[in-house]
């Protein structure tokens, strides 16, 4: 089965190099950071051999084929690529801090309520 996802990745990489600060309402992040995030996710999926109905290698190829178009259509592509990388790092750090802040108390209390030591032993021993 063939899909248009590789073409979408091509457009995403070109947009990343042309207008990286365009904000995505769906992902609540700049488009450049989202494009890099999904590219890295697909690289990790190929590296770790995740299988399924997703053509991860096609996404990577589509992303890399879109880069020359972004370079040819933007005179400031180096600056825009740098901005995208910086925004991805800032976005990742913010999400990590937000997750750490919200999950530190809630998860520990919930885990204590749900699991006790006997449940864990039974789960590990498959009784």
pLDDT of 21-69, one tens digit each? 888 888 888 889 999 999 999 999 999 988 888 889 999 999 999 999 9
Q: Which residues pair with 64 in a beta bridge?
A: none
pTM over 0.85: no
The pLDDT of residue 54 is: 85
Q: Hey, where are the domains in the chain?
A: 5-125
What does the mean pLDDT of the chain come to?
A: 80
Q: What percent of the chain has pLDDT over 70?
A: 76
SS3 of residue 82 by DSSP: helix
Residues 6+ apart with CB under 8 A from 19: 31, 32, 80
Does residue 98 carry a pLDDT above 60?
yes
DSSP characters for 8-19?
HHHHHHHHHHH-
Please give the residue that has the higher pLDDT: either 82 or 110.
82
**Which among 29, 46, 48, 28 has a CA at the least distance from the CA of 89?**
29
Identify the band that residue 102 occupies on the pLDDT scale cut at 50, 70 and 90: low
d(CA 24, CA 118): 46
d(CA 43, CA 50): 10
């Amino acid at each position: 089965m063939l899909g248009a996802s590789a073409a979408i990745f091509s457009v995403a990489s070109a947009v990343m190099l042309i207008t990286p600060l365009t904000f995505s309402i769906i992902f609540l992040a700049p488009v450049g950071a989202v494009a890099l995030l999904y590219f890295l996710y697909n690289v990790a999926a190929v590296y770790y051999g995740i299988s399924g109905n997703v053509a991860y290698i096609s996404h990577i190829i589509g992303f890399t084929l879109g880069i020359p178009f972004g370079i040819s259509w933007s005179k400031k592509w180096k600056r825009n690529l740098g901005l995208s990388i910086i925004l991805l790092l800032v976005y990742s750090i913010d999400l990590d801090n937000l997750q750490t802040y919200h999950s530190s108390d809630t998860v520990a209390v919930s885990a204590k309520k749900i699991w006790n030591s006997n449940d864990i032993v039974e789960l590990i021993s498959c009784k």
